[in-house]
Structure 1
């Protein structure tokens, strides 16, 4: 984070489409494969992300993320380090249910979660517990980057949102304000003078330089 230098970057890349995404089902830690559309999304995005010249790739070990990461590995020649700490939120009995089914069966808990209260959805993990396991994995990988290096983290929508919230030092009640990521879209964090900064969110094109008074 020296003057005139870009600093390190973290690219959080969500996996490609699955059948449960199409059906609107809560996947959680259920190991669902990519659809053919999901594979095509991963190949397209990998060609774009390769232009960022990443130095390292880490990924959730669930197959939808691992298969997505493999496409970037094929283009860049980088190995992928898989880590269970990057898995999606475990959501117990909610996994496999649609959003409508969850609201019908667990309406009060669902409403509390949407209000930002700490809730174990389906008897599973708290969002802060997801950040507790995922953020250290990301930061450990960042520490191994060269100066101005770029890390690509291939994970899941909920896990990415909570990890970004933790790295930006946001109050957990406000993590929902970050919004979701579309399949195979990404968010970019860069080193600022005092902390990490959100440079891109839910992007499907390469980041453009930001020219402004507060950079």
Structure 2
């Protein structure tokens, strides 16, 4: 079977016991494990084996709870650095969608003059809920309560829809570009289920130069 292990993201040291959080790695090989990337074995080794020698790095953040269960906290490349604090965007998204008026949320980082990176949240509301500055403040307070002050979104943009592939995957690359006010080169958006949502997000972006 698979042997999961939680490592300290900075030191690469395996974290013992329960109630710990770090990055998810696999301590041994297993049947069906990918062996290479066709035509780019060097990239394969660099991505999955060199960052934490002796382990297969999944690319996921993870916590092991008090009962020994593993919880995926999000992709490590979806981690933003806010005032020196590393924070998974998935954690902020989970807090937002736990609010009764929120149907969906996507969180990305954007350049912030003081914090290094700020928290930019795209929020889709439940049917019948009208967006307002009051609701924006309510969601900011909600996240502060659920996670802490450091996780409060700096910018919340109302999003009637999010850019998704036909399989339902959110295209975060597009959301990052819009949040950075740098949408001149979004790349191919023809694969989106509804390319029209991109124009709406650009038109109503919160981080205008």
TM-score range, shorter chain: under 0.3
Structure of higher CA gyration radius: 2
Bigger helix fraction: 1
1 or 2 for the larger relative contact order (CA 8 Å, sep ≥6)?
Answer: 1
TM-score (norm 1): 0.23
Bigger strand fraction: 2
